Amino acid sequence: MGQRNIQTAVAMAAVGLGLLLQGVPAAAAQAAPQSPATPAAGVRDAHVKGVVVARVPLHVRHRPTTSAKVIGSLDPYEKVELSCQAKGSWVEGNNIWYRLHGKPGWVSARFVHNYTPVQWCR
């Protein structure tokens, strides 16, 4: 997705949120206080959500390198969960790879958009 498309999508989401909150009292529009079940600020999930931005099925590999065995694939625009990131082989100017959460394999970060920062693998 190009920069202009991302900016347009963000602007549309902001307008949509404004329409949803139109007429809602200011007190109701404010964030609710955190309950004990809500994670505290600064505490992250063990995984991050992302989406495949490749136009063709994306190879899932055994290790973070283009020479590793292909063990599966992800469809374009498929939502994924990411555990961590590591440096691997270069793919179109990007050497970051994401480890998938909940299933084995690695995907090139060049073809996955992460919604929040992904922690480094240990």
Q: Looking at domain 47-122, what is its CATH homologous superfamily?
A: SH3 Domains (2.30.30.40)
* pLDDT band, very low/low/confident/very high, at 89 (cuts 50, 70, 90): very high
Q: What contacts 24+ positions apart, CB below 8 Å, involve 76-80?
A: 76/52, 77/51, 77/52, 77/53, 78/51, 78/52, 79/49, 79/50, 79/51, 80/49, 80/50, 80/51, 80/52, 80/107, 80/112
Token pair 């060049």 is at which residue? Answer: 110
User: No. of H helices and E strands in the chain?
Assistant: 2, 7
Domain boundaries defined on the chain: 1-29, 47-122
Mean pLDDT of the chain: 76
Token pair 């949509």 is at which residue? Answer: 16
Helix (H, G, I), strand (E, B) or coil at 74: strand
- Can you tell me the distance from the alpha carbon of 33 to that of 16, in angstroms, rounded to the nearest whole number? 24
Q: Does residue 108 carry a pLDDT above 70? A: yes
Each residue's pLDDT tens digit, 4-13 = 455 544 444 4
Each residue's pLDDT tens digit, 22-57 = 443 443 334 333 333 333 344 445 679 999 999 999
Contact between 14 and 44 under an 8 Å Cβ cutoff? The reply is no
* pLDDT band, very low/low/confident/very high, at 114 (cuts 50, 70, 90): very high
Q: Does residue 3 carry a pLDDT above 50? A: no
- Can you tell me the distance from the alpha carbon of 43 to that of 62, in angstroms, rounded to the nearest whole number? 29
Of 24-28, 67-71, 83-87, the least confident: 24-28
Between residues 39 and 58, the one the model is more confident about: 58
Looking at residue 47, its pLDDT comes to 77
